[in-house]
Amino acid sequence: MLQELRYYYTAEIVERVHAAGIEVTHDYKARSGAIPLPATLTIELCERIGALGSGLSARLYSDYPFPWRTNGGPQGEFERRALESLRTNSNLPVVEQQAHKINGACGTVGAGVLCALAEAMEQAGKNGDLAMLSARLTELDD
């Protein structure tokens, strides 16, 4: 879902305003008339969702975080292992199997949002779609 938001924001908002001369930057709050980069929007949206107290959380992280973000890289063993798995597993059978297990467990306890995310990850693993799997992994937080 967050990846789709980023795609939409990039195509429908950023491209239009950038063409009109509006600055798109990570420090948009300090620059009059600027708007956030897609990644900045996603990071801040994830932080706001987490602050709602609903128990839902998401985090955007990378092996190559923005230098001005102190917490942009993997935080914790799960995130490090997830990135390593993406780098080393081209057919992704382990990721697919684990996503299938998570999907089943979430269905059992009625965790619909996580269930849908696990199902998307399972399908991405079956299809060998690293880009989609990476996008789904950014929605998880340990």
pLDDT in tens, 5-64: 888 888 889 888 888 999 998 999 999 999 998 888 888 888 888 888 878 777 777 877
Name the helix (H) or strand (E) containing 25.
strand 24-25
Q: DSSP class of residue 110?
A: T
pLDDT in tens, 74-117: 888 888 888 887 777 655 666 677 777 777 777 666 677 777 87
Extents of the domains making up the chain:
1-58, 75-142
What amino acid is encoded at 23 in this protein? E
Q: What is the distance in angstroms between the CA of the first residue and the CA of the last residue of the chain? A: 18
Mean pLDDT across the chain: 79
Give residues with Cβ within 8 angstroms of 113, minimum separation 6. Answer: 56
